[in-house]
Amino acid sequence: MIAILKFVHIASLALWCAGLLALPVLLHQYGRTAAARTQTGFSRLRHLTHFSYVAVLSPAAVVTIAAGTGLIFLIEVVDPWLLAKLLMVAGMALVHAWLGHLTSRIGHGDGGYRLPPPLLGLVLALPLIATVLWLVLAKPDLAPWLDRLPALLREPQDRELPPGVVPI
Ligand code: HEM
């Protein structure tokens, strides 16, 4: 079961990462050419970006996250590197959402919409992906870094629940 989930996880994350790197290039290369200002060129750009985002990137992201979450429970891993990895994955999800916003705006916005530099997505996604891969493959011992966090974040505070809150 672990082998199957890992296979699904790695296959879908390869697709998601490839998409996060390719979509900004696609938006940059085609979105700013003269061809994109003709009806045929614009329709082509629209189909290409919309299809990639809706039918490839987003399902790949969901499958990656679902399979990864399954792996956490199967392998029972709760190491600090995993927490750092999830923080980086959250950054990837934000870049994903921003690219979706751009893809949507070029299709549904009025003609006056000026596309922000899509390559910014590439600049943000590349280090995030590289860091995630490093964290998961090297599994560095981040415990000493955790010890530097303020005690408030490291230890239970044993405070009373506020009145009105019903624990599960
Ligand atoms: C919320 C999203 C994710 C979760 C919950 C998650 C969780 C996990 C878990 C629990 C493992 C097994 C670790 C082990 O064998 O000790 C794993 C493996 C792996 N993950 Fe993720 N992951 C997520 C997203 C990603 C992303 C976005 C990437 C790449 C950019 C990635 C790359 C990998 C790789 C390469 C492995 C295989 C590591 C190995 O077998 O040594 N993961 N993931």
The whole-number pLDDT of residue 42 equals 83
CB of 142 closer than 6 angstroms to any ligand 1 atom: no
| Residue nearest ligand 1's atom 20 by CA | 136
In this structure, the number of other CB atoms found within 10 A of the CB of residue 166 comes to 5
- CB of 89 within 6 A of ligand 1: the answer is yes
pLDDT at 29: 84
Tokens of 67: 């399979």
* pLDDT at position 111: 65
Host domain of residue 45:
2-143
Evaluate whether residue 155 is within a structural domain.
no
| Assigned domain for 54 exists | yes
Residue 150 belongs to a domain: no
Contact 60/12 with Cβ under 8 angstroms?
Answer: yes
The answer, yes or no, to whether any atom of ligand 1 lies below 6 A from the CB of 68, is: yes
pLDDT for the residue numbered 154: 84
**Considering the domain boundaries, does residue 149 fall inside one?**
no
Comparing 137 with 106, which gets the higher pLDDT? 137
Provide the 8-state DSSP code for 52.
Answer: I
DSSP secondary structure letter of residue 38: S
Is the CB–ligand 1 distance for residue 27 below 6 Å?
no
Query: Measured in angstroms, how far is the CA atom of residue 119 from the centroid of ligand 1?
Result: 26
CB 132 within 8 A of CB 88: yes
Q: What is the pTM of this model?
A: 0.87
Which amino acid residue places its CA nearest to atom 19 of ligand 1? 136
As a whole number, the mean pLDDT across the chain is: 90
9-47 pLDDT, tens digit per residue, is: 999 999 999 999 999 999 888 777 777 778 888 888 888
Residue 63 lies in a domain: yes
Domains: count for the chain: 1
Which pLDDT score, from 0 to 100, does residue 25 have?
93
